[in-house]
Amino acid sequence: MKPILFSTPMVQAILDGRKTMTRRIRKPLTLTPYKPGDILWVRETWYQHYDGSYAYRASAPENTGWKPSIFMPHEAARIFLRVTDVRAERVQDITEEDAKAEGCMPTILDGVVFISAKGEFHAIWDNLNAKRGFGWDANPWVWVISFEQISEQEAKEHDRFLGN
């Protein structure tokens, strides 16, 4: 199993069943970070209670003392994903349907689409990547990773099958 990091809104979109795709920067001369069939465990903002149980910001935002997702240990994971497809493309090649699979939704005001799902994705992308030099206008190459959510039991069975 490999870790993959998601922001709190994207974890909520996964839990709601709205997010089945993610895009990650494709660095030159690198191989794909994942392949179909890989099992990923989601790193998210978390907290460990004194009794050893875990809380997750995406489900309990009123808690305090959150720890950054990058420091989440594997044993705290509650979300597991199976990679179903990986391809490379430019970030601006995203379609409206793919933007919806990314967890984005069109904004509708008075029955008129005000911002498309692709427009929302554009804004989220720039918020996360522009300051690192990979903004929308730079149109970087990305890995497009499609996935399905699976149970922890399925993830563990997959690991046992591979002898991990």
Residues 82-103: tens digit of each pLDDT: 999 999 999 999 999 999 999 9
**What pLDDT is stored for residue 164 in this prediction?**
61
Under 8 Å between Cβ of 143 and 31: no
pLDDT category of residue 159 using cuts at 50, 70 and 90: confident
Rounded CA-CA distance 126/92 in Å is 12
Measured in degrees and rounded to the nearest 5, phi and psi for residue 79 equal -120, 130
Q: What is the mean pLDDT of the chain?
A: 92
Under 8 Å between Cβ of 152 and 131: no
| pLDDT surpassing 90 at residue 108 | no
Rounded CA-CA distance 93/76 in Å is 35
> Which among 54, 5, 38, 44 is positioned nearest to 164, based on CA atoms?
38
Domains annotated for the chain, with CATH where assigned, are 2-162 (2.30.130.30)
| pLDDT surpassing 90 at residue 63 | no
Region 44-48 average pLDDT: 94
Residues 1-12: tens digit of each pLDDT: 999 999 999 999
| pLDDT surpassing 80 at residue 160 | no
**What pLDDT is stored for residue 94 in this prediction?**
98
Measured in degrees and rounded to the nearest 5, phi and psi for residue 163 equal 80, 25
**What pLDDT is stored for residue 162 in this prediction?**
67
Measured in degrees and rounded to the nearest 5, phi and psi for residue 50 equal -60, -30
